[in-house]
């Protein structure tokens, strides 16, 4: 068995037993090793396991600490495991909260099982691609405008102020930086950054571009770094 074939480990943090059991079963059928934590405290204990997890599926509504706070705590502790949040709420503010808390992706309940499986495959593929290609060696730092980014240490500052980016935001930023000046279609970004092929929903890309603009543009409504190219996609200019 090669490293590539070893089962990847997932942690589901979900207090609704039937939902957790259903997710566990289906993810196991896909070949993952799956553990379930039914509250934030248990999740914290699980994450101390030195063999670690490859990704976390995290429910927002937990009995002790809410998922947003738990995710923020992981990130503040320097834990950059991919997190997919499950939210029962669908208001744009909640989606933003999830992403602000450092989630890589989110799904609104009720969701299709296939959609969750696709998102899980996507975050894991992205992580494996990083590890296998040593992609971060190619470009370790980036500066543009008032921003300084170190892709190795995840240290990001804007005008000297520390900013926290998720792995996905860093990956997207790096892909832009490595392809500066070139027009990148939404589908290319989904395929190269999200590792999603023939994925119909390109809104995800637009949401993340908005996020990068809010982080890095002095006037997000008239961007000078993350440019829209009408009918084609986006272009990065340092």
Which positions lie near Ca ion, rule CB under 5 A?
15, 59, 61
CB-nearer residue toward Ca ion: 23 or 196:
23
Distance of closest approach, residue 68 Cβ to Ca ion, in angstroms: 13
* Spatial distance between the Cα atoms of 107 and 210, rounded to a whole number of angstroms: 19
CB-nearer residue toward Ca ion: 15 or 100:
15
CB-nearer residue toward Ca ion: 66 or 157:
66
Distance of closest approach, residue 56 Cβ to Ca ion, in angstroms: 14
CB-nearer residue toward Ca ion: 11 or 147:
11
Peptide bond into 97 cis (omega under 30): no
Distance of closest approach, residue 81 Cβ to Ca ion, in angstroms: 20
Q: What is the chain's percent helix, strand, coil content, to nearest 5? A: 40, 20, 40
Instruction: Report the residue closest to Ca ion, judged by CB.
Output: 61
Distance of closest approach, residue 77 Cβ to Ca ion, in angstroms: 23
* Spatial distance between the Cα atoms of 153 and 81, rounded to a whole number of angstroms: 14
C-alpha separations of 152 from 85, 137, 186, 234 in Å? 25, 8, 26, 25
CB-nearer residue toward Ca ion: 15 or 148:
15
Distance of closest approach, residue 15 Cβ to Ca ion, in angstroms: 5
CB-nearer residue toward Ca ion: 40 or 147:
40
Q: Any residues with CB less than 8 A from the CB of 51 and at least 6 apart, and which? A: 9
Would you say 235 and 222 are in contact if contact means Cβ atoms under 8 Å apart?
Answer: no
Q: Token digits for 30?
A: 């896909």
5 sits in which H/E element: none
Distance of closest approach, residue 198 Cβ to Ca ion, in angstroms: 32
* Spatial distance between the Cα atoms of 227 and 235, rounded to a whole number of angstroms: 5
């Amino acid at each position: 068995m090669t490293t590539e074939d070893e089962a990847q480990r997932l942690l589901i943090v979900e207090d609704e037993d039937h939902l957790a059991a259903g997710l566990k079963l289906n993810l196991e059928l896909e070949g993952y090793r799956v553990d379930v934590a039914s509250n934030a405290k248990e999740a914290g204990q699980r994450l101390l396991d030195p063999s670690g997890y490859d990704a976390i599926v995290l429910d927002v509504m937990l009995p002790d600490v809410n998922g947003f706070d738990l995710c923020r705590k992981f990130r503040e502790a320097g834990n950059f495991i991919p997190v997919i949040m499950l939210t029962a709420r669908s208001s744009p503010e909640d989606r933003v909260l999830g992403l602000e808390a450092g989630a890589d992706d989110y799904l609104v309940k009720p969701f299709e099982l296939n959609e969750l499986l696709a998102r899980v495959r996507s975050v894991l593929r992205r992580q494996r691609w990083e590890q296998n290609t040593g992609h971060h060696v190619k470009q370790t730092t980036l500066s543009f405008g008032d921003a300084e980014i170190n892709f190795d240490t995840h240290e990001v500052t804007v005008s000297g102020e520390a900013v926290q980016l998720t792995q996905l935001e860093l990956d997207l930023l790096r892909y832009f930086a490595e392809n500066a000046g070139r027009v990148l279609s939404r589908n290319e970004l989904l395929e190269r950054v999200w590792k999603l092929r023939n994925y119909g929903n390109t809104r995800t890309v637009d949401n993340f571009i908005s996020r990068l603009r809010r982080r890095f543009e002095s006037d997000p409504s008239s961007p000078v770094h993350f440019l829209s190219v009408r009918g084609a996609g986006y272009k990065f200019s340092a």
